[in-house]
Structure 1
Amino acid sequence: MNSEITYAEVRFKNEPKSSGTKSEPPTAPKEKTNPQKSDSSFPKLLASLLILLLLLTISFLIAFIYKDWSCCPKNWTSFGSNCYFISVESGTWDESEKKCSSVKTHLLVITAKAEQEFIIQKLDKSSAYYVGLSDLQGKNNWQWVDQTPYNESATFWHSGEPNDLSEHCVILHFRASPRKWGWNDVRCNQHQKFICKMMKIYL
């Protein structure tokens, strides 16, 4: 009798007490967490990357506009950073320069072979064209109208030219023999066509 009572007491002692309602299983103890400072370097890195991306975008747009939003006036030809107007009317050298000046340009100044090669492809072989090179003082002291230094190593005179101290202005014209374009000195009062040159307009 005593052993049964002891057994019953032991059995009930180990069981959870019942309060008449369904009990929920005990929850696991919460782990202790140590508060740590949030990593503040990531937002700074993200902000730097966004600023860099913005600067690259602005630089690209500026380069795109500078390159692609340049233009020449109507009836002008584009080459490099310049525009060229090839006249169909004739005049003296002085009249030709004044016509170029009236539209804020000047007679053609040629400083490179590539420019010379480009221009001659646009010209009429039966015509001659004034360029902005002259020796108005008659001392064989050739000067460009825009004050670009005259460089003898970058000239395109025909063979034997210049050949007359009384001829102070220069034309670009085609010779049949040999078949090529080149420069000739001529009298400035001759009536010839002309070529104007200006910098491109950037919008």
Structure 2
Amino acid sequence: GYSLPFAAWCPVIFSLFLLCLALTIGMTVLGLRGSKAPVGQSENLQGLKARLCLTGDANILSLPGPRCSLCPVNWKWDGGDTCFYFSIELATWQESEDYCLSQNASLLMLKGKTKLVCIAQLSARFSYWIGLSYGVDGWSWTDGTKLSTKRMDWITLSPTQNCAYLHYKAKVYSGDCLEKYPWICEKAAVQLI
């Protein structure tokens, strides 16, 4: 076979050497730029956190990492892990429940006095439908949990009126399900971690 003399290969070898050198320099520059990016990204993340995250807890911005709570537009945050929607429209109990379900939420469930106090602080001076109704098995919440009336002196219910509403004075009463009231939906806040 025929082979080219070494001198003929010199331009090819030199071109490959220059290409490798350019690639090495390029990778080094990108590597240095990439190592500086996390600092800039961290600063940007803190700025986004300050603008987007709910700040009911003044310490949330000082928490390490990007963890924060987010609620949909027009929903109120309780300072913890729950968002609440206070409607301004009027609807029957069933229409209210359907709306909450369409928002991947449920009508408000007041299974303890702590949440009642929180809601009373967030709500306006209205009565609102909540997720408590009377069925064949008695009073139960929309998640199927039976109502426990132990030490719940803030609830007054009648089996002749099958749906419950929260009165603005932090009391729960039963009412006609076809009456029209505003309602309160609740769902978990989105946690960015």
TM superposition score normalised by structure 1: 0.58
Counterpart of 1:136?
Answer: 135
Match of 1:145 among 142, 146, 162: 142
- In structure 2, the CA distance between the partners of 1:73 and 1:166, relative to structure 1 (3 Å rule), is same
- In structure 1, how many angstroms separate the alpha carbons of the residues matched to 2:172 and 2:134? 14
Give the CA RMSD over aligned residues: 2.0
Counterpart of 1:96?
Answer: 96
The answer as to whether partners of 2:116 and 2:170 remain within 8 angstroms in 1 is no
Between the two proteins, what is the percent identity of the paired residues?
A: 29
Runs (5+) with no aligned partner, structure 1? 1-62, 175-179
Q: State the 1:70 CA deviation.
A: 2.0
The answer as to whether partners of 1:172 and 1:182 remain within 8 angstroms in 2 is yes
Structure 1 counterpart SS, 2:183? strand
Q: Which residue identity lines up with residue 186 of structure 1 in the other structure?
A: G
Structure 1 counterpart SS, 2:104? coil
Is 2:182 the partner of 1:196? no
- In structure 2, how many angstroms separate the alpha carbons of the residues matched to 1:95 and 1:154? 30
The answer as to whether partners of 2:139 and 2:146 remain within 8 angstroms in 1 is no
Counterpart of 1:157?
Answer: 154
The answer as to whether partners of 2:71 and 2:190 remain within 8 angstroms in 1 is yes
The answer as to whether partners of 1:156 and 1:183 remain within 8 angstroms in 2 is no
- In structure 1, how many angstroms separate the alpha carbons of the residues matched to 2:122 and 2:139? 25
Runs (5+) with no aligned partner, structure 2? 1-62
- In structure 2, the CA distance between the partners of 1:173 and 1:133, relative to structure 1 (3 Å rule), is same
The answer as to whether partners of 2:71 and 2:83 remain within 8 angstroms in 1 is yes
Q: State the 1:123 CA deviation.
A: 1.9
Q: Which residue identity lines up with residue 143 of structure 2 in the other structure?
A: D
The answer as to whether partners of 1:92 and 1:191 remain within 8 angstroms in 2 is yes
- In structure 2, the CA distance between the partners of 1:99 and 1:77, relative to structure 1 (3 Å rule), is same
Residues 156-175 of structure 1: pairs in structure 2 closer than 5 A: 157-158=154-155, 161-162=156-157, 164-174=158-168
- In structure 2, the CA distance between the partners of 1:182 and 1:65, relative to structure 1 (3 Å rule), is farther
Number of equivalenced pairs: 129
The answer as to whether partners of 2:81 and 2:188 remain within 8 angstroms in 1 is yes
- In the TM superposition, what whole-angstrom CA distance separates every residue of 1:110-134 from its partner, at most 9, and x where no partner exists? 1222211111122222x21000000
Structure 2 counterpart SS, 1:73? coil
Q: State the 1:149 CA deviation.
A: 4.1
Is 2:176 the partner of 1:187? yes
- In the TM superposition, what whole-angstrom CA distance separates every residue of 1:166-193 from its partner, at most 9, and x where no partner exists? 200000013xxxxx32011001000001
- In structure 2, how many angstroms separate the alpha carbons of the residues matched to 1:156 and 1:83? 26
Q: Which residue identity lines up with residue 112 of structure 1 in the other structure?
A: G
Q: Which residue identity lines up with residue 103 of structure 1 in the other structure?
A: Q
> Which one has the bigger helix percentage?
2
Counterpart of 1:42?
Answer: none
- In structure 2, how many angstroms separate the alpha carbons of the residues matched to 1:92 and 1:133? 13
